[in-house]
Amino acid sequence: MLRIKRHTGERIVIGDEVVVEVLEVRGNTVRLGIDAPRSVPVYREEIWLEIKRENEAAAQAAELPPLAAELDPASAPAPGARLPG
C-alpha cells in the first residue's frame, strides 16, 4: 500500500479525475473531501462491503421458494416465482 504524509488542506490526486483533500484532523478522526467524476461512486468501506455481500448472496439464489398466495400482500397473478413457465 502506498503511504503518503499530508497536512490539513493538502491533496492527493488519483488518476486524472479523483482528488482527495485532507480537510481536518482531530484526534483519531480525519475529515476528507473527495472530488470524483459522476461515474465513480464513492462509498465508506464498511457500507461498500455490506452491499457487496448482500448482492453476492442475492445472486446465489437457485430459485425462489413458492410463495403462497396468502403471503403475498398484493393479489399476484401467479403463486410461485419459478421461471420461465
13 binds other proteins (CB under 8 A): no
Left if phi > 0, otherwise alpha if psi is -120 to 50, otherwise beta: which for 27? Answer: left
| Residue 32 found at the interface with other proteins (CB under 8 A) | no
Question: Could you tell me the three cell numbers for 81?
Answer: 416465482
- Segment 44 to 63, residues that bind other proteins, using CB under 8 A: 47-48, 50-59, 61-63
Beta bridge partners of 33: 21
Would you count residue 12 as binding other proteins (CB under 8 A)?
no
CB of 3 to other proteins, least distance (A): 26
Pair 22, 30: CB distance under 8 Å: yes
Question: By the 8 A CB rule, do 34 and 15 touch?
Answer: no
Contact residues toward other proteins (CB under 8 A) are: 38-41, 43, 47-48, 50-59, 61-68, 71-74, 76-81, 83-85
